[in-house]
């Protein structure tokens, strides 16, 4: 055992190291050798000594094991033939990679991602390293100022059906939704940036014009958010084409184009509009309890670093099997003080309904966006009433009035309560495993 392979968290923090926390399982009693092998695999060493790994290289570039916590924390008797569970922390010298997400992830969860049970739970970033990131341009406060939404949750609508509509049809749907008081209207993540039946420039022009017409009638500000996701080679071209056509916000499927590509758009000085991140594909990265990257880190922290002003977050009160506390952690990570990095607006989605509004707000507060698709377009009285009923559900909750009581004087909300009840969407469309 080499003492140089280990360190204390206190020293790692003082050195400005990046500290990564993992969950691992192992049957070996040589756990300390095992975790040293992990950190050395991801920094300077290989399976056998090599001449170039001299003292200067080790001192400046080799990582250190700074914590190994057994679960449970046995002290005297270690059960035989038991696969043991551990939470470990490894410290990586920030000099090994600049302020870049690709090389940082290649280091922290690179080759060792092939270990059968190893999941990256969190990363602690030193302030100096974070200075290389701009983060969101607007954040929650900037979005509130831009859209004049002072103290309530935002409301977002996804145009439904997901795809297949023409720019003219999209403009009509968006107009009806905007009349209902929705703050944001976004493309579905499944709609490509520039499909032949719904070209980007024409789509943005017609929908933006229809939304502005609705804004003149409501006195509020609704933004249309087109999806510009494509191959990286076309991403900026799509962004500028959308902006030229009048777009005031842009959406990117962050987890398919990659953080670096999304950050390129968010950081571009020619692109001075809010960026919305979609969560699709992220479940392939965080979905396993034994491998990948934990969702609060992936969704709440890394997307924020890459410059997302707002991001879809899967609601635990919808159609997907989301663990409540994980959603809560994602929201906390999106809004917590993070040195100079602005906050990220979490957009609760995935079967959001009027009936789920009270418990969502009471659990997560007002600095959220309630993102509903079918609950607005599928409203019995039409999409305008769908938007109004979402706003009414928010108003009722802010006034601490039960939805059924508030619905007595609000026909749009009453139509929802009478049709769907006060429950969430799972009675009608549920992807949870029974």
Residue 193 burial by Cβ neighbours in a 10 Å radius (0-12, 13-18, 19+): buried
For the sheet with 250-252, list strands across it.
Answer: 223-225, 184-186, 154-158, 369-372, 345-349, 310-314, 275-277, 250-252
Between strands 154-158 and 84-92, the pairing is unpaired
Please, which residues have CB within 8 angstroms of residue 118's CB and are 6 or more apart in sequence?
22, 23, 24, 38, 112, 290, 291
Looking at residue 79, the DSSP 8-state letter turns out to be: P
Between strands 223-225 and 250-252, the pairing is unpaired
Catalytic: 54? Answer: no
Kindly state the tokens that stand for 392. 């009414």
Max CA-CA distance within the chain?
Answer: 80
Looking at residue 110, the DSSP 8-state letter turns out to be: S
> Quick one: which of 39, 42, 41, 36 has its CA closest to 2?
36
Q: CA 92, 94, 100, 104: dihedral to nearest 10 degrees?
A: -10
Looking at residue 227, the DSSP 8-state letter turns out to be: B
Catalytic: 160? Answer: yes
Q: Please report where in the chains the tokens 């509509």 appear, as a residue.
A: 165
Give the active site residue among 64, 119, 186, 278.
Answer: 278
Q: Please report where in the chains the tokens 């090994």 appear, as a residue.
A: 96
Please, which residues have CB within 8 angstroms of residue 56's CB and are 6 or more apart in sequence?
none
d(CA 94, CA 85): 28
For the sheet with 84-92, list strands across it.
Answer: 64-71, 84-92, 18-26, 118-124, 291-293
Q: Please report where in the chains the tokens 């670093």 appear, as a residue.
A: 305
Give the active site residue among 64, 160, 319, 422.
Answer: 160
Question: CA-based angle 353:357:360, to the nearest 5?
Answer: 115
Kindly state the tokens that stand for 130. 């974070």
Catalytic residues: 160, 278
């Amino acid at each position: 055992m080499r003492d140089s392979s280990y360190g204390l968290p206190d020293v790692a923090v003082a050195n400005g190291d990046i500290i990564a926390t993992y969950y691992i399982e192992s049957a070996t009693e040589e756990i300390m050798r095992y975790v040293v092998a992990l950190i050395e695999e991801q920094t300077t060493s290989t399976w056998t000594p090599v001449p170039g790994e001299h003292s200067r290289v080790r001192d400046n570039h080799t990582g250190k094991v700074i914590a190994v916590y057994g679960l449970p924390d046995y002290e005297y008797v270690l059960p035989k033939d038991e696969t043991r569970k551990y939470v470990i922390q490894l410290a990586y010298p920030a000099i090994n990679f600049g302020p870049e997400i690709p090389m940082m992830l290649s280091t922290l969860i690179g080759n060792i991602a092939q270990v059968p049970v190893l999941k990256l739970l969190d990363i602690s970033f030193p302030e100096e390293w974070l200075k290389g990131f701009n983060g969101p341009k607007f954040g929650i406060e900037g979005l509130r100022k831009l859209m004049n939404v002072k103290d309530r949750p935002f409301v977002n609508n996804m145009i439904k059906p997901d795809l297949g509509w023409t720019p003219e049809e999209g403009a009509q749907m968006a107009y009806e939704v905007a009349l209902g008081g929705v703050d944001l209207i976004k493309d579905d993540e499944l709609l490509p940036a520039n499909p032949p039946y719904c070209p980007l420039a024409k789509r943005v022009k017609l929908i933006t014009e229809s939304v502005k017409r609705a804004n003149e009638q409501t006195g509020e500000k609704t933004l249309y958010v087109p999806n510009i996701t494509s191959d990286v080679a076309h991403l900026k071209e799509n962004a500028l084409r959308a902006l030229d056509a009048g777009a005031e916000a842009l959406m990117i499927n962050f987890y398919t184009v990659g953080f670096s590509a999304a950050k390129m758009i968010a950081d571009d000085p020619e692109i001075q509009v809010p960026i919305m991140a979609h969560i699709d594909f992220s479940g392939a990265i965080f979905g396993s309890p034994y491998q990948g990257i934990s969702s609060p880190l992936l969704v709440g922290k890394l997307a924020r670093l890459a410059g997302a002003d707002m991001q879809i977050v899967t609601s635990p009160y919808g159609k997907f099997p989301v663990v409540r506390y994980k959603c809560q952690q994602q929201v906390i990570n999106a809004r917590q003080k993070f040195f100079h990095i602005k906050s990220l607006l979490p957009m609760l989605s995935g079967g959001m309904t009027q009936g789920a509004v009270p418990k969502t707000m009471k659990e997560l507060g007002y600095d959220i966006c309630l993102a509903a698709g079918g609950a607005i377009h599928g409203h019995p009285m039409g999409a305008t009433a769908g938007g109004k009923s979402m706003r009414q559900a928010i108003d009722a909750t802010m006034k601490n009035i039960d939805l059924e009581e508030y619905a007595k004087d609000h026909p749009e909300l009453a139509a929802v309560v009478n049709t769907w009840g006060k429950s969430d969407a799972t009675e009608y469309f549920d992807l949870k495993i029974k």
